[in-house]
Structure 1
């Protein structure tokens, strides 16, 4: 009986470690006064991400250094598993990026589109999410949602 309990405890511990490995850790930089960025962080948390939010007054510089062109920058910049994710990118697309692991710096959804995760309102048009290249070449469309 003791052996069965010990094996059961090991199995449960193993499941706990496996589940902990599945949590994606992300760091999100945002303007200190921006509330929609907090909404986006909450959205990510509800979808299995562990998000550390870091307020900054230097967001444009952080995005630029990560390779995101000024015309593609959103209102926050997130780093997750070696990629930059700029703007209110839906979690489905973030997970696609992390599973496909393309040779790019990351992805960006420019601006603050209505109806995107963390933003209010209804979605009125498809979101065009761009691939941010590592080599300075022009961005290409990564996904449309």
Structure 2
């Protein structure tokens, strides 16, 4: 019994150390999505990668407004992550239960997965509140 308890404790500790898990849905033809997934993984987020043929229907089902849309959509702890949201902001999302999710609309150059040499477009991470209001949660570059 003691060995079983120790094994269960070690498994739980290893799972917690591995970091949060996100499901990412992407179009099969999108290359920047894979780069964003690599960014998440290198920052401790485990990713379940799903190739999705109808991204519009998925976004609609998750409540992502068209004005906040980008090329891929993640789901972590029931909240959506739309587009090239930096891992640092994803990791803070769980502490914001008032948000349905985060979004970086479009595909701004210099955002994670959209690196293009030294080009760095200014962009915002938008939080969508449960009442439908939006708020800026981060600005890049700082």
Do the structures match in fold with TM over 0.5? yes
Is the helix fraction higher in 1 or 2?
1
* Divergent runs of 4+, >6 A: none
> Structure 1 residues 112 and 126, CA, compared in 2 at 3 Å: closer, same or farther?
same
1:59-74 aligned within 5 A: 59-74=55-70
More strand by share: 2
Secondary structure, in 3 states, of the residue corresponding to 1:105?
A: strand
1:17 equivalenced with 2:4 (yes/no): no
What SS is found at the alignment partner of 2:93?
A: helix
Q: Secondary structure at the match of 1:92?
A: helix
Q: Residue 104 of structure 1 corresponds to which residue in structure 2?
A: 99
Uncovered stretches (5+) of structure 1, i.e. residues with no partner:
1-5
Q: Deviations over 1:117-139 (max 9, x none)?
A: 1112135243211112333x242
Confirm or deny that 1:77 pairs with 2:77.
Answer: no
List runs of 5+ in structure 2 lacking aligned partners.
Answer: none
Shift of 1:14: 4.4
Larger Rg: 1
Aligned-partner Cα distance in 2 for 1:13–1:52 = 23
Q: What TM-score results when the alignment is normalised by the length of structure 1? A: 0.81
Partner of 1:52: 48
Aligned twin of 2:91: 95
Aligned residues: 135
- CA apart distance, 1:33: 0.4
